[in-house]
């Protein structure tokens, strides 16, 4: 990954199971969640994203009681690069819009910061 990727500020949690992220406007999966923070997300997708693209996306996160919370947020592409597997791309997105409920669901899923 790029040096910029390694210099992130917010604590992130890696997805350990498939979590598709769907573009609300096209109803297409734009990628699988790689990791998530309070300020951004990294996706693994099968098509190269457009630089600076803004998307309204939806995905689900489990809460502490193993219930699914539907999260719908606005994101903007910040960087992308080819993955090791041909035809796949890593991409980093900044969260640009989220409801209070979605922010709480993200914070709960991420958990407390690591020391």
> Could you give the count of Cα atoms lying within 13 Å of 102 in the half-sphere of its Cβ?
18
13-32 mean pLDDT: 96
83-107 mean pLDDT: 96
CATH superfamily for 3-110 is predicted glycosyltransferase like domains (2.40.10.220)
In sequence order, the β-bridge partners of residue 23 are 28, 57
Domain boundaries, the chain: 3-110
pLDDT of residue 108: 93
Mean pLDDT of the chain: 90
**Confidence band (pLDDT; 50, 70, 90) for 112?**
confident
**Confidence band (pLDDT; 50, 70, 90) for 83?**
very high
Phi, psi of 62, rounded to the nearest 5 degrees: -75, 145
Could you write out the DSSP letters of every residue in 58-112?
A: EEEEE-TTS-EEEEEEEEEEEEEEE-SSTT-EEEEEEEEEE-HHHHHHHHHHH-S
CB 57 within 8 A of CB 73: yes
């Amino acid at each position: 990954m790029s040096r910029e990727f390694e210099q992130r500020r917010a604590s992130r949690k890696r997805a350990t199971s498939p979590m598709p992220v769907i573009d609300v406007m096209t109803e297409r999966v734009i990628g699988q969640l790689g990791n998530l923070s309070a300020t951004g997300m990294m996706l693994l997708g099968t098509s190269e994203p457009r630089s600076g693209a803004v998307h309204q996306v939806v995905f689900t996160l489990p809460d502490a009681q193993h219930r699914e919370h539907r999260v719908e947020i606005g994101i903007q592409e910040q960087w992308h690069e080819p993955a090791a597997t041909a035809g796949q791309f890593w991409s980093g997105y900044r969260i640009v819009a989220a409801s209070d409920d979605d922010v709480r669901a993200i914070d709960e899923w991420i958990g407390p910061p690591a020391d």
